[in-house]
Structure 1
Amino acid sequence: MNSLSSRRTFLKQTGVLSVSSILPLSVLPVHYKYKMGLQLFTIRDAMVKDPLGSIKYARSLGYEDGEIYGYNGDNDTYYGIKSKEFKKQLDSLDFTISSGHYDFSSRFNQPIDVLKKYVDQCIIGSKNLNSKYITWPWLAPEYRTIDNFKVLTDKLNIIGEQVTNAGLQFAYHNHDFEFTDHNGEQGYDIILSGTDPNLVKLQMDMYWVEHSSNKGIHELIKENQGRYVMWHIKDMDKVTRDYSEMGNGSIDYKNIFSSIEQKDLQYYYIEQGGNFAKNSMQSITDSAIYFKKHLQRYL
């Protein structure tokens, strides 16, 4: 008796044999460590028109988790839907929201009490969605000076403590401007050294690290153990260096994922900020197909 027949006999005797048990191993469902995530900003045009329909479509492609944006703290709404009702709709789609990008930058120069009030609102929304992370995603161009990066670190620590005390976690998301040289100083170095690692985690945008940092992805993770809890994964056009669908660009994610340290990673999100070959929904379709075929095995 060959090994396949022996396996079938054993499963039948133990009552485990089912249709899936006799399928070739190549077509059996695979359970990955991490949910395949999508930064919903990628499909922001579709989300404005039909947020739940857009998420339903993303779910059909294999995306199981998302990072949200567009919270209205005064009304406690996401895309015009009350946060608790939005959570019910997400549950019906079997889709989770593990993190959110919130509009802290527009409150950068406002009194700290105003900022902390907004943080309290974000905590309410995040808890209603059962999200783990609240993330600072952006610093407006007018604030990108070395002195303001020092101010930013203080704000990040304050928010981090507030969010942590509420039972959630806080993170900072990088772009390219943090790596700009200011007479020998970089904003990202100030953020890394000036924030409390226990209060301020990091969300690495791998595209922007590859695009603009003088340090590589592996080096940053090695130097900041315990901090890079989330990744943004997007590809870079081979010619223009703009965003691109997964697999169409120049970033060697197979090599990165097969060799990168993942012990601190909790969530990842596929993203494409623009430069769509056709439109945003087709881009998340193409990226999902490529990612599941070539990259998900590493995660």
Structure 2
Amino acid sequence: MKEPKMVGRRSFIKQSGFLLSSALIPLNGYSMAIMKKYKYKMGLQLFTIRDAMKNDPIGSLKTVASLGYQDLEIYGYDVDKGTYYGYKASDFKTILDDLGLSASSGHYGFSDYFDKSEDQLKQYVDQCIEGSHALGKSYITWPWLAPEQRTIEKFKLLTDKLNRIGEQVNDSGLGFAYHNHGFEFIDHNGKNGYDIILSETDPNFVKLQLDLYWVKHSSKLSPKELIAKQPNRFVMWHIKDMDKVSRDYSELGNGSIDYKTMLANIDQSGLQFYYLEQGGNFAVNSMQSITDSATYFKKHLQKYL
């Protein structure tokens, strides 16, 4: 993607035709006054609309804001260029500000540095910290492990890396978290990777971003039971539904996960942010999916958060 020119706040508003005052009018039937009664901002993991963000980041973000999303989790930071979605980090922050959006967390490519030197990993973390501060984020999140990194021996190596990164990130004034998928819950002769992460990482430095879909998909324990182990560590959630037949991703309300019961009974004492997400399997396309999920969430689930 060709890197755009630097944009200032006034020029961005003029070029996009989007007035900040529009954030004060009803969005899809939900006014800002109504949204403010909820404890948490309605969040979206932008990976859901990665195709749209690649083709038209500003137009996509306008739609995201119009649907009532207020907070974002970012992915795809280019550490060499210091850019998000082709924009310098400072310019992207201006775009978010003008749309009334915040970015509280970001997923970064730590898995690529799993087997690199300690100095290389430390340098990468410093670059992630710089990009996160530019957007005013609260958390840096480790989101993924490559298939060859999912053995019990590798999980034990991972915990040391998580502790060192967590201390480095915390020293910078940010929080650090680990995001799960399903492979952490695979049984290896009575052990699994998630138990190792829970027991061998420092809770002061390493928080947890719980993907509720993957817990329902792959864990023997429910999200409620997992959170009960160390409630204050689960500072972020990913909320997405599960197709009733294929068990793939689905738009909220179309799947098999009973979020009404779950959210009404789950411990939220550690929760700071949540993000709606759908990694694929869209009924129509990604933008229609975030529209449908937002509509369902606001009508049926947001009252619990």
Say yes or no: does 1:204 pair with 2:210: yes
Counterpart in 1 of 2:34? 29
Shift of 1:56: 1.1
Counterpart in 1 of 2:28? none
Counterpart in 1 of 2:56? 50
Q: Deviations over 1:34-57 (max 9, x none)?
A: 000000000000011111211110
Counterpart in 1 of 2:66? 60
User: Distance between the aligned counterparts of 2:77 and 2:96, measured in 1?
Assistant: 15
Aligned 1:82-97 pairs, distance under 5 A? 82-97=88-103
- Counterpart amino acid of residue 51 in structure 1: P
Counterpart in 1 of 2:253? 247
Secondary structure at the aligned position of 2:44 is classed as: strand
The TM-score normalised by the length of structure 1 is 0.90
CA RMSD between the two structures? 1.3
Aligned 1:137-216 pairs, distance under 5 A? 137-216=143-222
Runs of 4+ in 1 over 3 A off after TM superposition: none
Aligned 1:70-81 pairs, distance under 5 A? 70-81=76-87
What 5-or-longer segments of structure 2 have no aligned partner? 1-31
Shift of 1:29: 2.5
Say yes or no: does 1:298 pair with 2:304: yes
Q: Which of 135, 158, 164 in structure 1 is aligned with 2:141?
A: 135
What 5-or-longer segments of structure 1 have no aligned partner? 1-26
- Counterpart amino acid of residue 252 in structure 2: M
- Counterpart amino acid of residue 104 in structure 2: S
Shift of 1:58: 0.6
Counterpart in 2 of 1:226? 232
Secondary structure at the aligned position of 2:34 is classed as: coil
Q: Deviations over 1:233-274 (max 9, x none)?
A: 000001110000000000000001111111110000000000
Q: Deviations over 1:58-104 (max 9, x none)?
A: 11000000000000111111111110111011100000000000000
Secondary structure at the aligned position of 2:257 is classed as: coil
The number of aligned residues is 274
Aligned 1:97-108 pairs, distance under 5 A? 97-108=103-114
Does structure 1 conserve the Cα–Cα contact (< 8 Å) formed by 2:231 and 2:269? no
Counterpart in 1 of 2:123? 117
Shift of 1:28: 7.2
Q: Which has the greater radius of gyration?
A: 1
Aligned sequence identity (%):
68
